[in-house]
């Protein structure tokens, strides 16, 4: 069975990102690596541990162009972490307000979520309760994908 191990994304200011992930999110910095040629850019990789054993990995590529996400909806690309219960979200609201981090909330029925951006505009989500994926493929999901593929993958004239 697959389990998410880590996510990696670029940052433009390692110091600002370190302060955000270590001090605001309170994730421990567990490792760091550096080098002088990742796609011809000097680089620093910072690895932060998540409580379930996963990791968030941030990479600063010195003088690399900033990713261009501005044309997409803000939350179409985001990284979600989970708390045990909806009541646990209250502590996150307080922590984010105290740190001056703007956030918004969404009601997803059985789940509630808080969304906010890191210093680079990466959208993070804290949701509760945790998602419980189905053990087997859903027929409803398969039908939805087939409808999409049928409607959006027509040959171009």
Domain presence at residue 157: no
Same domain, yes or no: 44 and 96: no
Is residue 108 within 8 Å of 33, Cβ to Cβ? Answer: no
Domain presence at residue 111: yes
Beta strands in 29-132 (DSSP E): 29-38, 41-49, 55-61, 78-82, 103-108, 111-117, 123-128
Please give the pLDDT value at position 100.
Answer: 97
Same domain, yes or no: 52 and 80: no
Same domain, yes or no: 78 and 51: no
Is residue 102 within 8 Å of 116, Cβ to Cβ? Answer: yes
> What CATH number corresponds to the domain at position 28?
3.10.180.10
d(CA 69, CA 62): 19
d(CA 44, CA 34): 4
Domain presence at residue 3: yes
- DSSP 8-state assignment for residue 131: P
Domain presence at residue 17: yes
Domain presence at residue 150: no
Number of domains within the chain: 2
Same domain, yes or no: 93 and 125: yes
Of 62, 96, 114, the position where a domain reaches its end is 62
Q: pLDDT digit of tens for each residue in the chain (157 aa)?
A: 567 788 998 988 999 999 999 999 999 999 999 999 999 999 999 999 998 889 999 999 999 987 776 677 777 778 899 999 999 999 999 999 999 999 999 998 889 999 999 998 889 999 999 887 665 567 777 788 888 888 776 555 5
Is residue 69 within 8 Å of 122, Cβ to Cβ? Answer: no
Domain presence at residue 79: yes
**In terms of residues, how long is the chain?**
157
Please give the pLDDT value at position 1.
Answer: 59
Domain presence at residue 94: yes
Residue with tokens 């979200």: 89
Same domain, yes or no: 40 and 97: no
Same domain, yes or no: 52 and 2: yes
b/e map 64-96, b = 16+ CB within 10 Å = beeeeeeeeeeeeeeeebbbeeeeebeebeeeb
* Domain around 6: 1-62
Same domain, yes or no: 46 and 78: no
pTM of the full predicted structure? Answer: 0.78
Same domain, yes or no: 5 and 54: yes
Report the C-alpha dihedral over residues 87, 127, 134, 52, rounded to 10 degrees.
-90
Domain presence at residue 29: yes
């Amino acid at each position: 069975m697959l389990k998410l191990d880590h996510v990696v994304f670029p940052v433009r200011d390692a110091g600002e990102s370190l302060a955000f992930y270590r001090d605001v999110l309170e994730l421990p910095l567990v490792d760091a690596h550096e080098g002088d040629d990742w796609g011809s850019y000097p680089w620093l990789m910072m690895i932060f541990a998540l409580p379930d054993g996963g990791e968030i990995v941030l990479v600063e590529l010195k003088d690399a162009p900033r990713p261009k996400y501005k044309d997409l909806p803000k939350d179409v690309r985001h990284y979600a972490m989970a708390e045990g219960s909806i009541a646990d979200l209250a502590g996150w609201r307080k922590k984010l307000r105290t740190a001056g981090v703007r956030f918004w909330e969404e009601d997803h029925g059985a789940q509630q979520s808080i969304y906010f951006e890191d210093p680079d505009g990466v959208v993070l989500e804290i949701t509760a309760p945790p998602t419980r994926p189905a053990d087997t493929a859903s027929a409803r999901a398969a039908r939805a994908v087939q409808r999409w593929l049928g409607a959006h993958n027509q040959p171009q004239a």
